[in-house]
Amino acid sequence: MDNNVIALEKILGSLRQVSFYKNSHKCSDFIDTSRFSATKYILSCWSHYGQYNENRLVLMHEGNTDDIELNGYTISSTVKDIHFFLTSRDVNEHDFTFSIQASDGEVYEQTFHIENNELLPHIVYAIILLTSVKDKNKTSIFWTMLIQGTIPYVSLGQKLDYVNELRMIAKSIIEEYPFTKQFFQDGLKEIVSKLKSELSSLEKLKKRFNLMPFCSF
């Protein structure tokens, strides 16, 4: 069987994944795979409350499979992907891992988690985020905020700092890459809503204690 190819459609404010086989001319004529696509190789499969596949994705950008150079970072064009899915329910999860050389020469790996099957768009979003943030720890925090809608268990002031910093980074990225708009818009919407709720609860708590009479002992 031919290798499975995944490619991208650029639509209003976001990216959409298209999957087909290499010799499927009907699809390959419709989608320009030279812009950004990936060939998927399945290395192994195993079952544990569902099926896991270990895959390798070979990314192709601008017609070649060279490592990606962006903002002083080098990212290997070969990406590791652990795909977990359940056929009985609509469950698709991916943990994809980049091999990275940072602008200061440090070489490391970083893994990103998603809970849907739009793998290639999220690979693009992750590459843009990590090369814009330029801090692997903050990149991990921001990705979790955007994907899972959770803010680290830190002080409220630090949560505000994280959200404000992420909003500024997102604004800058969207200006350069308009196709990231929906990704950041959806991710920020949930965490901003949660933060507003937390601030509101804190304000109610403060008012409650301010109105409580002093107790005498």
The length of the chain, given as a count of residues: 217
CA nearest neighbour of 115 among 94, 134, 133 = 94
Query: Whole-angstrom Cα distance, residue 190 to residue 147?
Result: 10
Using DSSP's 3-state secondary structure scheme, residue 31 falls into coil
Displacement of CA 30 from its chain's centroid (Å):
26
Phi/psi at 167 (5° precision) = -60, -40
Q: pLDDT tens track of the chain, all 217 residues?
A: 346 889 898 889 999 998 876 665 455 555 666 688 999 999 999 987 889 999 999 999 888 999 999 999 999 999 999 999 997 888 899 999 999 999 999 999 999 999 999 999 999 999 999 999 999 999 999 999 999 988 877 788 888 899 999 999 999 999 999 999 999 999 999 888 888 877 766 565 455 555 444 333 2
Whole-structure pTM value:
0.87
